[in-house]
Amino acid sequence: MMATGPRIKIDPASDVPVVRQIMDALRVLLVEGQLRPGTALPSVRRVAMELGVHFNTVAEAYRQLATEGWLDLKHGRAAVVVERAVPVVENGARTADFHTRLRGIVAQMRSEGIPADSIAAELRAIAKVVTRT
């Protein structure tokens, strides 16, 4: 019987590098609390096999998330999610950067023909999750 847990998904045909896709997918689960502190992640080998990517790609994503303070990596042990202190934003520069990127994504969605209502509904759904977590 297979165990069930949250899943991550990548698109090999996407322009976004695979390592970035893995990091983004994991970060969403971490921020939304689907991966809680103390949760052990599957081995690099298993995730790489399931996604059909090289071991180093998954290892790099784990390392980057460890650098951001989400994971604890110890040699010979599974990667474990850790309690992460929310960093204090010193000025509005970072917020402005994310604002620009978010607008860019919305613009791209609209240019690809996704109706404005759908985009707004999606953003509201995300906002709900953000305020809850």
Partner 1 sequence: MRLILCGFQVLMGALLFAVPHMTRRELLFAVPVPADFRRTQAGRSAIAVFRVVVMAALLTSVAALLFLPDEFMAMAATSAPIVLMMAGGAAFYLQYRKLAPSAIQFAGRHEAELTDAPEELPRFVWFAAGPFVMLGAAAIWMSQNWDRIPARFPVHFGFDGQPNRWAERTTRGVYGAVLFGAELCAWLLILGLAGWFGSRRSVTRSVMLGGMIGMGYFAALLFALISLQAPLGLPTWVPMVAPLAILIPLLIVMVRKMSDPQDPVDATPNECWKVGIIYYNPNDAVLFVQKRDGLGYTFNFANRWAWVLLAGLVMVMASAQFVIG
**Minimum distance from CB of 96 to partner 1 (Å)?**
33
Residue of 68, 84, 75 whose CA lies nearest to 36 = 84
Answer yes or no: are the C-beta atoms of 65 and 26 closer than 8 Å.
yes
Minimum CB separation of residue 74 from partner 1 in Å reads: 14
Q: Determine if 41 is a binding residue for partner 1 (CB under 8 A).
A: yes
SS3 116: helix
- 54 contributes a contact to partner 1 by CB under 8 A: yes
Residue of 16, 49, 105, 125 interacting with partner 1 (CB under 8 A): 49
* Contact call for residue 75 and partner 1 (CB under 8 A): no
Interface residue with partner 1, options 6, 17, 33, 38 (CB under 8 A): 6
Could you give the C-alpha distances from 81 to 41, 52, 89, 99, in angstroms and in order? 8, 23, 23, 28
Residue 58, Cβ neighbours under 10 Å: how many? Answer: 26
Chain residues that interact with partner 1, rule: CB under 8 A: 1-12, 26, 29, 35, 39-43, 45-55, 57-58, 78
